[in-house]
Amino acid sequence: MTALPLPLSHIETLWIDPEVTNHPLADTVRKRFASEKIKIGIPPVPDGIQAVKRRLFVTRYRGRLVKPCPGSQGRICCGYQVINAMVHCPMDCHYCVLQTYLSVPALTLFVDEDRIREEIRERLDTNRSHFFRFGTGELADSLVHDALTGFSRRMVPFFAKTPNGILELKTKTAAVETLRDLDPKGRTVVSWSVNPPALIRAVEPGTVPLSQRIAAARRCQEMGYWIGLHFDPVVWFEGWEEAYRGVVADLARALDPNRVLWISVAGFRYTRAQKDLIRKRFKSTPLFLGESFRDEDGKFRYLQPLRVSMYQKLLGWLREWSPDLFIYYCMENRRVWEQTFHDPPKNTRELDERFNENIKRHLKHGG
Ligand code: SF4
């Protein structure tokens, strides 16, 4: 039994659903835990989020496992497909939506890998001339469980064989060694959320520092993967300009911009319920220093002029790094796009089309 990597080493109990005890994934995971830590059954409702993060549950999922990202009402969204292979996360970012949004009793791994593949194939078959983007990082961190499950290592070769599928593995770990010695054939993007080092220390407990994320991204570029970067959430604080400019400079020093497939930018946003919970769990969080208002979709965001001015600066530094970077907003409105982009997409369909062109262009020049 080898030791578990850090965020998973806090797991106290492994629960295995009686229906899946003979499944190979349950077997693989079970081998990593001492027998006194393993229970067969359904975990009871836990006492708080910390308890959820200290137990792992292997089970099956009866609903659809691959679904379009629901996006946000009235926003230009990117047409992403979400793969629900696992749910929840052992790390503990203050702003994480999963803490309010999910009601699972444990970090949950679903064994239904064959069905995931089938559902992906179904989606790809609906339009063979269109590139569909899939990600496992919406309801969990894509790589944090990989040392246990090997899931991404199996998905990379699967996507490499698809004519029109792109897999995105989104993470705040540096756990990329499981991706070594595979040939992604231009069909996998490994991506990192990035923020200034001091903000990471203050609001992203359990994640790795920026320097380790960038070093892992560089290793992935060398291994033949595309890289994605997510400035999400962009947070306002005294000195934010210098701090974010420093992040772009660090990225520019280490990474080849021609192998960065996309970059998203999204200001900090939250619901009322999320704010109440964040305040309760992280009393001295620096997240709420910027002035916010309730937007049309019910989420609180920084005032529009502040968002526009922050985005203009950030986009400016990124364009200085490389004018050809493909940059998009996650869940922003048309007015913000129009004030910050010279030729903004009109709607979700147009943004999706631009992703398609961007992917084809990159594959032509070095997939
Ligand atoms: S790494 Fe992602 S999924 Fe995990 S706690 Fe942070 S925001 Fe949530």
User: For position 198, which CATH number holds?
Assistant: 3.80.30.30
CA of 93 to the centre of ligand 1 (A): 5
CA of 342 to the centre of ligand 1 (A): 33
At 45, is the pLDDT very low, low, confident or very high (cuts 50, 70, 90)?
Answer: confident
Q: What is the dihedral of CA 307, 270, 169, 234, to 10 degrees?
A: 30
To test the pocket of ligand 1, the residue of 96, 200, 277, 281 to mutate (highest count of ligand atoms within 8 Å of its CB) is 96
* 43-47, 50-54, 118-122: the lowest-pLDDT one: 43-47
- Residue 349: domain span: 60-104+111-364
CA of 92 to the centre of ligand 1 (A): 6
Instruction: Give yes or no for residue 349 having a pLDDT over 80.
Output: yes
> Does 189 fall in a domain?
yes
- 3-state DSSP assignment of residue 124: helix
> Does 50 fall in a domain?
no
- Minimum CA distance residue for ligand 1 atom 6: 93
Residues near 32 by beta carbon (within 8 Å), at least 6 away in sequence:
1, 2, 4, 148
pLDDT of residue 75: 77
- Minimum CA distance residue for ligand 1 atom 2: 141
* Mean pLDDT calculated for residue range 77-98: 92
Instruction: Give yes or no for residue 8 having a pLDDT over 90.
Output: no
CA of 142 to the centre of ligand 1 (A): 10
> Does 356 fall in a domain?
yes
* Mean pLDDT calculated for residue range 289-315: 93
Closest atom, ligand 1, to C-alpha of 170: 2
- Give the pTM: 0.95
CA of 125 to the centre of ligand 1 (A): 32
> Does 231 fall in a domain?
yes
> Does 353 fall in a domain?
yes
> Does 53 fall in a domain?
no
| 306 vs 6: which has the higher pLDDT | 306
At 181, is the pLDDT very low, low, confident or very high (cuts 50, 70, 90)?
Answer: very high
> Does 187 fall in a domain?
yes
pLDDT of residue 72: 67
Task: Report the number of distinct structural domains present in the chain.
Answer: 1
> Does 185 fall in a domain?
yes
Whether the bond into 68 is cis, omega within 30 of 0: no
Closest atom, ligand 1, to C-alpha of 172: 1
